[in-house]
Amino acid sequence: MKRKHYLVLSAFSILCLWTAAVNAAPATITISDPAPADEGMIGSLNPTLSVTVRHSARKRMTITFSSDASGQRKEISRFTQASSGVYTVRPRTMTRRGMTYHWTVTATDGKVTATRTFSINIAQFIGTRDTLITHSDCWKYGYIKHGWEKGKFFVTTQRGTWAAYDLDKGWYRTYQRLLRRQEYTGAWRSLEDGGNLGHPFWGYWDGQYHALGAFRHGSSGWESASSRTFEGLAQLRYETDVKDLGLRTQQPNWHEGVTYTFSEDRAWIIALDFDATQSPRDADTSWVHHKGRGVVKYWQWTKAGGWEKPVTIGTVSNHTGRVALVRHTRDLWYLFVTEGEHGSLDGKGNANFTSTLKYFKSTDAGATWSDLHDTGVPAHAIWSSVSFARYGDNYYVFLSAGNDSYVQFTTNLEEWVTDGVNRKRVARDAWMKPHGTLLHQSALIMTVAADLDYLDEQYGIIIVVPEMIAHPEPPTGPLPVAGAQLPAGVNEAELSVTVHGPQTYDVAFYWEDGTFIGEDKLLREGERARVTVANLTPGKTYTWYAVARGALLEYYGCEPDTTSDEQWSEASSFRTSK
């Protein structure tokens, strides 16, 4: 019995000694898991900064973020009475590419202090300038646009494949299959490894990605498959998940559609619909020499009414090629197309064309359209897939002429200067069908086919250009006025600010912690940018601000990327009633 009693006392003594040692150990604060990774390289401006902070004794802390981005170390944000956890901040001054920025996190409980400094490199772009990204065939229908997710771009091509680029990762998906297919059909069944969408293109509206293609079941028009994510399209089966949109064209085969998204609940398909009744084939029965009238049409989708009947904008002399819609302001719109004789093949490229870039114009937000106007910019009527990059009132258009693909710059869509300063050759020797968009203020991203062989490869190309500046001024006059109290029972509010500056702007709205609320687009000097917030909590104070940036081409549905010349309004607050 005595020995057993002795053992129990010994165990108790050891426990007491261990507890005393733990209590006597000094408290520690650790700062870890930085994001972006320390000394890493990304392509986004003003990246969200994040760390994990832990206090060994679970005491409250003051956590401070600071950086040297403004030329001297300045505080970004401070958290008081903070417990252990993950903390994120949104900087404002990390806005220059090719720079290394340092940011510091300091945590203290008043007695114990920990500090760590991290660095981030902001690159002009991630990856190589020219990258093989996927297959291509037929008339090289590469199609690239900004996706719904911030900083992501997606490409589809004629072989039913896709690729993806991330502003912070580069080309992170290449040679991907667009849709699954159980049974292959047709003369090129060995190539149908990505479903069978003909001349595919895609868009985002109604909360989903929509992959579209030429109808393959004995009739003209388009069919479509839809997914919340672009990657989700690869899990769909062509036989069961592709649906007939019910839209019909006069041209049975070669039409190239494009999508344009106005908002979550409104979108267009635009195409050149060849009217076969207007002109028969000439002596050369090759389809390349099939002369006729191309009718420029759009099919509108609205959430309330679905797809509507086609509307004719005008006619052009050629029968194939993509068109591009540019809503310059809320009322002034342009629809561009390549038009004229497309010439004949010379074995390497198409060198003897006489077509140019032309446009229809609307001054009443698309209700009526003018006759065709000629810009005089050389553009092959078939080998060009007309597409634009935009920031503010700065525009680049992607075209082919002769055996080359190039980009042409302008700040006036009706007046173009085709000199060595405004025109930049991107690819030579029969690289064809470029299709591109804005990567960021000082770079473009495009896809282009390697040559004229029927079976081919598609390249993703980054083009560095002079930084485009829109010169916005800080938005003013926030409503509701600072300190406003909403009436009892009201749980939504319209937030608005007045826009200032010489160009065209998009305005994004944010809550105090940097959470994106929404965006209003295509605003000029003195106009009001507006968004509505709903489902507000009674008896709560809400603080918000707005950011003006150069206008982009269309609605994406996601938070826009940061720009170097963006301007922030003052923060404003309102309160809901209980």
For residue range 213-255, what is the model confidence (pLDDT) as tens digits?
Answer: 887 665 688 899 999 999 999 899 888 899 999 898 887 656 6
The set of residues, in sequence order, having a beta carbon less than 8 Å from that of 1 and lying 6+ positions away, is none
Strands 356-362 and 473-479: unpaired
* Helix/strand/coil for 562: coil
pLDDT (0 to 100) of residue 440: 97
Instruction: For residues 487-497, give the mean pLDDT.
Output: 95
- pLDDT range class, residue 362, cuts 50, 70, 90: very high
pLDDT (0 to 100) of residue 318: 76
All structural domains of the chain, each given as residue ranges with its CATH number in brackets, are 26-122 (2.60.40.10), 130-464 (2.120.10.10), 473-575 (2.60.40.10)
Q: Are 199 and 142 in contact (CB under 8 A)?
A: no
Q: For residue 162, what are its two tokens?
A: 């896709």
- pTM to 2 decimals? 0.90
DSSP letter for 221, please: S
- For the chain, percent helix, then strand, then coil, each to nearest 5? 5, 50, 45
> What phi and psi values does residue 17 have, to the nearest 5 degrees?
-65, -40
Sheet with 373-378, strands from edge to edge, namely: 324-327, 333-339, 356-362, 373-378
Instruction: For residues 158-185, give the mean pLDDT.
Output: 85
Range with the poorest average pLDDT among 68-77, 151-160, 338-347: 338-347
- pLDDT range class, residue 163, cuts 50, 70, 90: very high
Give per-residue burial for 10-32: e unless 16+ CB within 10 Å, then b: eeeeeeeeeeeeeeeeeeebebe
Q: Are 331 and 347 in contact (CB under 8 A)?
A: no
pLDDT (0 to 100) of residue 450: 78
Residue keyed to tokens 């220059």: 96
pLDDT (0 to 100) of residue 465: 95
Strands (E), 178-254: 198-205, 208-214, 222-227, 243-244
Residue 291 has pLDDT above 80, yes or no: no
CA neighbor of 325 nearest in space, from 355, 294, 297: 297
Residue 40 has pLDDT above 90, yes or no: yes
- Encode pLDDT of 329-345 as tens digits: 999 999 999 988 776 65
CA neighbor of 247 nearest in space, from 276, 268, 277, 226: 268
CA neighbor of 47 nearest in space, from 111, 99, 92: 92
Instruction: For residues 389-403, give the mean pLDDT.
Output: 92
Looking at every residue in the chain, the average pLDDT score rounds to 87
CA neighbor of 458 nearest in space, from 493, 439, 491, 433: 433
End-to-end CA distance of the chain: 70
pLDDT (0 to 100) of residue 357: 95
Strands (E), 123-215: 130-137, 143-146, 152-156, 161-166, 170-177, 198-205, 208-214
Most confident of 181-190, 210-219, 296-305, 454-463: 296-305
Q: How far is CA 185 from CA 140, 243, 269, 437, in A?
A: 20, 18, 27, 34
- pLDDT range class, residue 23, cuts 50, 70, 90: low
pLDDT (0 to 100) of residue 293: 74
Tell me the residue type at 485: Q
